[in-house]
Chains A and B, each alone.
Chain A
Amino acid sequence: MTGTIAPAAVRRSITVEAPRERAFEVFTASFGRWWPRSHKIGSAPMQSAAIEPRVGGRWYEIGDDGSECQWGDVLVWEPPARIVLAWRIGADWRFNPNLLTEVEVRFIPAGDGKTRVELEHRKLENMGTAMEAARAAFESERGWNGILANYQRALAER
């Protein structure tokens, strides 16, 4: 399989009423203050989460029992303009150091002291077996090629 069809990246953007430096600071240094507690991978209730402010720094959650579960690490650290984080959580919702999906966050001045924050979660085709499997399937007889072939056949039979 050549892997020409991959899941589309997840894209989100938002404009916040804060200058770029503050938007970047809150996103990174105060990550644990705003990240929803429901979005966790550990078994313990999540107490906080953090991004270590450097390339290679860890991105992880902290449980209320003190346990730490890593999500990934910092790939690009360019304050206050951009960060790229490796999200290494698979379709099975577990940390996998060999899995790479990327979360890029850009902070763009939007005038009037506002900042546009753009996020792209990409390389989802790496997301564990499931996504890989999906890609394979889309190229198989049950995928678009198969569907188009069936369509062609149906047309020919008329």
Chain B
Amino acid sequence: MAYDYAAMIALADPTRRAIFELVVEQPRSVSELARALPVSQPAVSQHLKVLRCARLVGMERRGASNVYHLDPYGLAQMRAWLDGMWAGAFDSFKAEVEKDGKGGT
């Protein structure tokens, strides 16, 4: 399938999901995220890396720290994936419904 599941897999982890929700609320730095969650700073960084790969979050440098914000691309992709799923399903449905002779019985 066209969609690689990256965004869905990224959000399946409860800690990553919590990080994502915090970032969506407002842009935050790694240390802010680590303070808000019972997770170490290196662990938060690892999770952010996965979220960035899935393009659910983006990053920008602000002074000495990196600040993370929502990247709408990952979410738009999910919708595109659903769209593609139905397109594929419809092709398959059409083939099945027209299998037993055109015009039907």
Chain A contacts to B: CB under 8 angstroms: 7-8, 10, 12, 14, 16-19, 22-23, 26-27, 30, 33-36, 38-39, 91-94, 112-113, 117, 119, 121, 124, 127-131, 133-134, 136-138, 140, 142
Using a Cβ–Cβ cut-off of 8 Å, how many residues does chain B contribute to the interface with A? 41
Assembled-state Cα–Cα distance A114/B36 (Å):
58
Complex contacts, B20 vs chain A, CB 8 Å? 129-130, 133
Q: Which B residues are CB-close (under 8 A) to A30? A: 96
Smallest beta-carbon distance B92→chain A, Å: 5
Q: 7 smallest A-B Cβ distances: which pairs? A: A34-B96, A133-B24, A18-B104, A92-B12, A26-B97, A134-B75, A93-B8
Closest to B18 in A: A129
Smallest CB gap from A112: residue in B? B103
Which A-chain residue is minimally distant from B13 (CB atoms)? A92
Interface residues, chain B, with chain A CB atoms under 8 Å away: 1, 5, 7-9, 11-12, 17, 20-21, 24-27, 56, 69-70, 72, 74-75, 78-79, 82-83, 85-90, 92-98, 102-105
Task: Flag if B89 contacts A39 (CB, 8 Å).
Answer: yes
Within the complex, the shortest CB–CB distance from A49 to chain B, in Å, comes to 10
Partner of A91, one of B8, B94, B102, B105: B8
B-chain residues with CB within 8 Å of residue A17 when the two chains form the complex: 97-98, 102-104
